[in-house]
Chain A
Amino acid sequence: EVQLVQSGAEVKRPGESLKISCKGSGYKFTSYWIGWVRQMPGKGLEWLGIIYPGDSDTRYSPSFQGQVTISADNSLNTAYLQWSSLRASDTAIYYCARLEMATMVAFDIWGQGTMVSVSS
């Protein structure tokens, strides 16, 4: 079964760092782009960025460039999203999703989401 499994919920203080993960299984991890999507409480989906694990090519939404870092460890079939200094406004659910290859538009497999809560 093709799936993406994300790390568990996090509760952090402003200014702290954080790295959340997304582990792929059931397919060749290095052959598919993995994207990250934010959903703030009660709001819609926002695309943050994407990585191609095969060569670590990474792209960011202009809205999130410099705010987060996306990486991957192919030996672990895992992609990561990290913050060096969290803000309360980073409170959201973060999803990883696999980009399907036929159209290079649709995200066909989604992780279950990681809830990140940032509060003093």
Chain B
Amino acid sequence: SSELTQDPAVSVALGQTVRITCQGDSLRTYFASWYHQKPGQAPVLVLYGKNNRPSGIPDRFSGSYSGDTASLTITGAQAEDEADYYCNSRDSSGNHLWVFGGGTKLSVL
């Protein structure tokens, strides 16, 4: 199995840029995907693959990779971006298993 590690909490001033990271061995092989989740709601996919945004996701969300770490960057954070953010990827065993990171609570100040 493999694990994905995220910082528990990150804060950003309104309109500033913030990066949320996800670290794990499987990210050397597989893409990460990113979700935000607001209280009482289901998760929503915001980024996947190399740097793909689903329809309806603003272009202030972008992604990048370096070694075993994937990053989600929000450029010009808005109040509505305050949420829990989760990364996920495939398990590095190659056995059709998936894994989620522990989540990062983003506060927009």
Interface residue ranges, A against B (CB under 8 Å): 35, 37, 44-47, 50, 57, 59, 61-62, 95, 97, 100, 102-108, 110-113
A104 & B100 in contact (Cβ 8 Å cutoff): no
A44 & B100 in contact (Cβ 8 Å cutoff): yes
Partner of B42, one of A95, A100, A105: A95
Interface residue ranges, B against A (CB under 8 Å): 1, 30-33, 35, 37, 42-45, 48-49, 52, 54, 84, 86, 88-90, 95-103
B42 & A59 in contact (Cβ 8 Å cutoff): no
B97 & A45 in contact (Cβ 8 Å cutoff): no
Assuming the contacts A105-B30, A105-B31, A106-B33, asked whether A59 and B49 have C-beta atoms less than 8 A apart, the reply is no
Residues of B close to A62: CB separation below 8 A: 1, 97
| A59 vs chain B, min Cβ distance (A) | 5
Could you write out 17 A-B pairs with CB less than 8 Å apart?
Answer: A37-B100, A44-B86, A44-B100, A44-B103, A45-B43, A46-B100, A47-B98, A47-B100, A59-B95, A61-B97, A102-B52, A105-B32, A105-B90, A106-B49, A110-B42, A110-B44, A112-B42
Closest to A48 in B: B98
Residues of A close to B103: CB separation below 8 A: 44-45
Residues of A close to B32: CB separation below 8 A: 105
A105 & B97 in contact (Cβ 8 Å cutoff): no
Q: A45-B100, A102-B49, A105-B31 are in contact. List 8 more A-B contacts (CB 8 A).
A: A44-B100, A45-B88, A47-B88, A57-B96, A59-B96, A62-B1, A100-B48, A106-B33
